[in-house]
Chain A
């Protein structure tokens, strides 16, 4: 979240657009918006299961988020709950940990997110099949090197089975996205060990958040584990240049030279003006005589 003071306009109304261009054409009330839904699943570091539906309208010049739409989330036929899309078009629903989800025959949870449509926006829906996976991450240091150990298991008839041959990555969060610092395949034991690079910039004291994550996996959705570690390079910003050609304050020599020149010239002017005044005084003395 931005740290800057956030000012929002004082309004309630939102405008929906068709393709950018003619509003005055008859289109607005007759053709409906055909939305695009991006339906995703995330199992976060605390093992909370989160369903997210992002509703946007794809126009000529870009993707416009659609706020204020009510999305219903289902597991098979059961309604889990609903959420309304925010200003960015995201509707987020967190599945209660205690809730027992319905599993299909292949062991995955079927999820559906639906939007029933209204007078402006067409109905749409999204589907997901998520297989639950348990991800464990251990961070360790040996001989000055840093290691990330990931282990993934999923439940089967025999209890917990190792997840083999699936792609998993280690990320570091950056300002706009996650930066991958290692990608690999889980071995036969369902584990993998990455060496964490030693030159990743962190915050001012060198802390980074290490993320082990299945990123948008076709089976598991997104599953991650996060941990903060002082494994990054401390980044301290150089102080800004106070005096330069392009800063607010001019270089000292410039200010001094200018002051000297101006004082010199206008000093002479003052002398001349005073001379004129003296002439005038002389003149009035003369006329008095």
Chain B
């Protein structure tokens, strides 16, 4: 075994072997937040949806925003991992595993927010028993199920070689159940030529599939809004707009998680400034596209004289002014400026840009959903303030926090079961690099 690989394994396996105290503390913290969220959910099931801030006009609120947000995060794996794999980008090796993990975990959490928003949880199986395929929600159900399955397979395929490596590693100091798990999951992969070929081909197929499916899933999500007649939603740009926004959020989260894991697992050797800059440039390009789409959407609304569009724009520029500025100006310009100026391209700055972009995207979804619902065609003639304007209650915030907590917990658990950086990918990349170098030497 090469020295490189030896060092790699030495650096990555400690996390699988032992669990630090701080891990338990952080996990416990997440668990408390999760419990708080569950409490909120119980209240909601017990007393009805009246405990949320949703009322007859704004029938979709923070839950749907979260749903779209988490589904958007799943684009990290789809596009970053899938596209980078298909394009055989050289620097992808250390980040690909993280991207795929983000995808699967956010796909696992996202649909739960739909469940929270549905009035009758006990009738959820009706979606599968009596589906109407003319309904965008059914398209969404089908697409998400397909996407989850596909991303899971994709993740598993990329893990396969690492499971084999870990299984073969004799001096791995882990519990016997973990050893058994590696052996089962490795399904007898021994690295023969034939197996490699089969695996490589399957992986390429899945990478292409993932990209296609991700685009379909998010477009379908966008069309849930696009097919209604409401001002602000009935926009032809929604499909592509949501896809771009999703890639934006996915890349942003990837950068953030890279920074976090690099720090806590001491992976500075493998995840370097170069990776941050490269992903930062992807962020830059996507931010530019996103800004362009946003601008073109609002310009046409603002310029034309359609009454309902004007009312919506007025609302966005007055009541939701701060949100609008944060989401559509600060959120887009910050990443662009930071990455455009070479001097500013440090790991810390790029991470900050990613954080701002991510939060701005959440706010962007909020101002897409809520102001439109607050401006129906027939004027809202109501005296009760919670029926006129939407304000989320503690239940909704608690469940949002719980969703984030579950995200963190799942990540922490997986990081204890398998390496965060793909050993096989790194090995392959290193081999290629050595091959390139020797070719150069010869010539």
Contacts and interface: CB of A to CB of B under 8 A. Distances in A.
B371 to A, nearest CB: 27
A269 to B, nearest CB: 6
Contacts of A282: 188, 190, 192, 194-195, 198
B26 interface: no
A271 interface: yes
Contacts of A271: 202, 205
A8 interface: no
Interface stretch (B142-150, B251-259, B316-324, B434-442): B142-150
A250 B188 contact: no
A279 B134 contact: no
Contact of A287 (B142, B149, B188, B213): B188
Interface core residue of A255, A266, A271, A279 (most chain B CB under 10 Å): A279
Interface of B: 132-134, 142, 146, 149-150, 153, 157, 160, 187-190, 192, 194-195, 198-199, 201-202, 205-206, 209, 212-213, 216
A106 to B, nearest CB: 58
Contacts of B201: 275
B190 A272 contact: no
5 contacts: A245-B134, A255-B133, A265-B209, A275-B201, A279-B160
Contacts of B142: 258, 262
A273 B157 CA distance: 10
A279 B206 contact: no
B146 A284 contact: no
Contacts of B205: 268, 271-272
A250 B202 contact: no
B188 A276 contact: no
A272 B204 CA distance: 10
B189 A283 contact: yes
Given A269-B153, A279-B199, A262 B134 contact: no
A246 interface: yes
B193 to A, nearest CB: 10
B146 A279 contact: no
Given A272-B157, A275-B201, A280 B149 contact: no
In which size bucket is the chain A interface? 20 to 34
Nearest to A261: B216
Given A250-B132, A275-B201, A265 B188 contact: no
A273 B199 CA distance: 11
Contacts of B199: 275, 279
Contact of A258 (B133, B157, B160, B190): B133
A278 interface: yes
Contacts of A273: 153
Contacts of B149: 269
Given A268-B205, A269-B153, A286-B188, 16 more contacts: A246-B134, A248-B132, A250-B134, A251-B134, A254-B133, A262-B142, A262-B146, A268-B206, A271-B202, A271-B205, A272-B202, A275-B201, A276-B202, A279-B199, A287-B188, A287-B190
B213 A265 contact: yes
Nearest to B149: A269
B183 to A, nearest CB: 11
B133 A279 contact: no
Contacts of B132: 248, 250
A211 to B, nearest CB: 42
B133 A250 contact: yes
A116 to B, nearest CB: 51
Nearest to A268: B209
A247 B149 CA distance: 31
A254 B134 contact: yes
Contacts of B190: 282-283, 286-287
A289 to B, nearest CB: 10
Contact of B206 (A251, A272, A283): A272
A286 B192 contact: yes
Nearest to A248: B132
Contacts of B133: 250, 254-255, 258
Contacts of B213: 265
A245 B199 CA distance: 43
A278 to B, nearest CB: 6
* Top-8 shortest CB links A-B: A283-B188, A275-B202, A280-B187, A272-B202, A286-B190, A250-B134, A250-B133, A245-B134
A251 B134 CA distance: 8
A279 B198 contact: yes
Contacts of A265: 146, 150, 209, 212-213
Contacts of B160: 276, 279
A279 B187 contact: yes
A287 B198 CA distance: 18
Contact of A280 (B146, B188, B209, B212): B188
Nearest to A255: B133
A272 B192 CA distance: 18
Contacts of A287: 188, 190
A172 B207 CA distance: 72
A272 B132 CA distance: 30
B220 to A, nearest CB: 11
Nearest to A245: B134
Contacts of B150: 265, 269
A162 B22 CA distance: 110
Contacts of A248: 132
Contacts of A268: 205-206, 209
Contacts of A262: 142, 146
Contacts of A284: 188
Contacts of A286: 188, 190, 192
B187 A276 contact: yes
Nearest to A278: B198
Contact of A272 (B153, B187, B189, B194): B153
Nearest to B208: A268
Contacts of B192: 282, 286
Nearest to B188: A283
Contacts of A251: 134
Contacts of A283: 187-190, 195
B82 to A, nearest CB: 13
